[in-house]
Structure 1
Amino acid sequence: MSGLRVLKPGPQSVLQDAGRRGWQHLGVSPAGPMDWQAAAWANHLLNNPWGTPLLEIALGGVELQAEVDTWVAVCGAQVPLSLDGQPLPLWTRLPLRKGQQLRLGFAHSGQRAYLAVAGGFHAEPVLGSVSVQLREGQGRALQAVDVLACGQAHFSHAASVPWPYLPDYRSKPLLRVITGGDAASFAQEQLHDFFAQTWQLSPHSDRMGARLIGEPLRPPERQWSLGVGRGAIQVPPDGQPIILQADHQTMGGYPLLGWLHPLDQGRLAQCPAHHPLRFTPVSIGDAQTELREFYRFFRRI
């Protein structure tokens, strides 16, 4: 099948879908997009179902040539987007004709852009998912020899995400945390210090975890491991918290302070190294209500 031929793959561009669900009990990480909201909007603009395979592009620097007439949408990081040298808007459904070249420059703000195509990209699934998980050797990053298989598509007109929903990745985010896990075992002043200070995102962060840099916390002792999920906030012995990301491990033994609000995980994924981060508590009920609204809008429930 024809599709989009890769001329330049960028630093790290990987296919992602809804993730590899139902395998964590066997030690398999779920993977999936780092920024669920940007990925969901890209698919939504093209009337693709939830979790349709798309391309996650770290930092930019991608060039593609169309071998088929289709439509695309690019959401997420503020990358210069052009078609045959002519600038195009992000967060918009756009036509792409056979022979045309689509270019994504390097991001001015944000870290990850999501390129969706009408009908989604076609790839052979592994354990029910096409999501690439480099750490576990499930798939690989895009290379200049690749063709992203996709079919023809047609829309009658362009469409864009309404401006109130467009994020500003240059702002200093206030990220919401559901306290729990081992939070009751932390000294009260330690919880206060976590929320009171401004942290920085470590340059050693990746798709597995976001490492924070700040005044160290004093975690309680933990003698056992338990299952962990995305957004879990671990506090290792050095006192510098780690927020688990899309490629997280399935078991962990560090004490858990709580979980990052699911709808704030994407905002964290768009922060560059050394970006300042602040946190504030949120109730599990409020987080569940907002997450249900998000899923309803994007037709997951």
Structure 2
Amino acid sequence: MKELGAISSELRAISPTLRVLSPGIKATVQDQGRQGIRHHGLARGGVLDLRSAAWANKLLDNERNAACVEIVLGGFQAEALSACEVSVTGARADVTVNGKPVGMWQSLQLAPGDKLAIGHSRNHRLIYLAVRGGFKTREWFGSHSVVEREALEGAGPLQAGDLLPAGSHEPIQGAPRIAPPQAWQWLEQSPVLGLIPGYQHHQFRSADLRRLVTSQYQVSDDSDRMGYRLAGSPMADPPPGIVSEGIIPGAVQIPGDGQPIALLADCQTIGGYPKPGVIASLDCGLLAQQLPGSEITFEWTDTLTAQNRRRLFERQYQQTVWSENGRSPHWR
């Protein structure tokens, strides 16, 4: 039998930590997504921008898969119901606590009654709010990720008045953490997306493949968590449609009009358009951050390069610790 003190600790751990005052345009709880369920016709889901979400958790010493809130274009407001530590990363926006400006890409202490407000983003699309211990909302298929279009009961965007419990109320000892410049500088770079050739690559004409990686494409208004339609120089003679087959986030489909569609975390499980390649996982986040009208380009890369980039990123998360002054992480 558990001792009374242990039971009290568990109750405190799952008690509401934040109350949503305004979700902004849209906000959902996301982690790294669901695994092993796509054969049931269910999307993977999960954060669109792996890097920003990971740094939000890293600033708080959370586990890699801790759930955070993904906020589209900002406008989010919440009240702290208990003392907690949070971080805000992703697209640049004005952030305040009780009306006073605070920094992004750093850890923030909130006291009971404090009001956190995240303004509207300026140059990019997605903002991430993490809490120490991760948000302990309801799980579906082993994940906290919400896929809105599946319309599962209780699995929708956040609404004003929603309560968000956290896994830990213990503050981090020492100075506040501040992410190093490399955590966010990639957002300021021109969006060039690494494209790994797929097995249907040879079905496309060489002139069309050259056009794909030498043209600029604009993100269209018809873009959401399922995928982004891109507008630019169309492929002149794309292959005809194929028998529907399994498809993954990052795949670039070419429909009959020759304009690429880049699939993202909430994409369907099967598709019938040919695919010249798949966008590297970290670059999917760079694409997801782009606003309608933003220009992107593709460049060919290979599986080994993409895997090495991802491995280095994950090792940095798992094998670095924060210095005592909180200013930078260093390797163990």
Shift, 1:215, TM fit = 1.7
Shift, 1:181, TM fit = 2.7
Decide which structure has the larger Cα Rg and report it: 2
Instruction: Measure the CA separation in 2 of the matches of 1:228 and 1:213.
Output: 22
1:149-164 residue pairs with structure 2 within 5 A?
Answer: 149-150=165-166, 151-156=168-173, 157-164=175-182
Instruction: Measure the CA separation in 1 of the matches of 2:23 and 2:141.
Output: 25
Q: Kindly indicate whether residue 190 of structure 2 is the aligned counterpart of residue 176 of structure 1.
A: no
Give the counterpart of 1:199 among 217, 228, 231.
Answer: 217
The corresponding residue for 2:157 is 141
Task: Encode CA deviations 1:132-173: one digit per residue, 9 max, x unaligned.
Answer: 101111411111121111241211220111113323545431
CA contact 2:241–2:255 (8 Å) conserved in 1? no
List alignment gaps of at least 5 residues for structure 1: none
SS of 1:292 mapped into structure 2: helix
The corresponding residue for 2:242 is 223
**Identity within the alignment, %:** 37
Task: Encode CA deviations 1:85-109: one digit per residue, 9 max, x unaligned.
Answer: 1111111011111111000000012
Q: Kindly indicate whether residue 44 of structure 2 is the aligned counterpart of residue 30 of structure 1.
A: yes
Instruction: Measure the CA separation in 2 of the matches of 1:6 and 1:222.
Output: 45
**Residues 295 and 170 (structure 1 numbering): CA distance in 2 closer, same or farther, change over 3 Å?**
closer
Task: Encode CA deviations 1:250-283: one digit per residue, 9 max, x unaligned.
Answer: 1111001101111111111110001011111111
What RMSD in Å do the two structures reach over aligned CA positions? Answer: 1.3
CA contact 1:66–1:101 (8 Å) conserved in 2? yes
**Residues 107 and 120 (structure 1 numbering): CA distance in 2 closer, same or farther, change over 3 Å?**
same
The corresponding residue for 2:256 is 237
Amino acid at match of 1:228: I
Amino acid at match of 1:226: E
Give every structure 1 segment of 4 or more consecutive aligned residues whose post-TM-superposition deviation is greater than 6 Å: none
The corresponding residue for 1:271 is 290
**Residues 285 and 170 (structure 1 numbering): CA distance in 2 closer, same or farther, change over 3 Å?**
closer
Amino acid at match of 1:64: A
List alignment gaps of at least 5 residues for structure 2: 1-14, 320-332
Give the counterpart of 1:46 among 54, 57, 60.
Answer: 60
Task: Encode CA deviations 1:36-87: one digit per residue, 9 max, x unaligned.
Answer: 1000000011110011011000001011110110100111010111101111
Give the counterpart of 1:189 among 188, 207, 210.
Answer: 207
Instruction: Measure the CA separation in 1 of the matches of 2:291 and 2:169.
Output: 36
Give the counterpart of 1:89 among 83, 103, 109.
Answer: 103
Give the counterpart of 1:76 among 77, 85, 90.
Answer: 90
Task: Encode CA deviations 1:99-140: one digit per residue, 9 max, x unaligned.
Answer: 110000000121010000000111121111111101111411
SS of 1:119 mapped into structure 2: coil
Instruction: Measure the CA separation in 1 of the matches of 2:156 and 2:42.
Output: 16
| Superposition TM-score, scaled by structure 1 size | 0.97
Instruction: Measure the CA separation in 2 of the matches of 1:128 and 1:171.
Output: 35
Q: Kindly indicate whether residue 258 of structure 2 is the aligned counterpart of residue 254 of structure 1.
A: no
Q: Kindly indicate whether residue 133 of structure 2 is the aligned counterpart of residue 119 of structure 1.
A: yes
Alignment length, in residue pairs?
Answer: 300
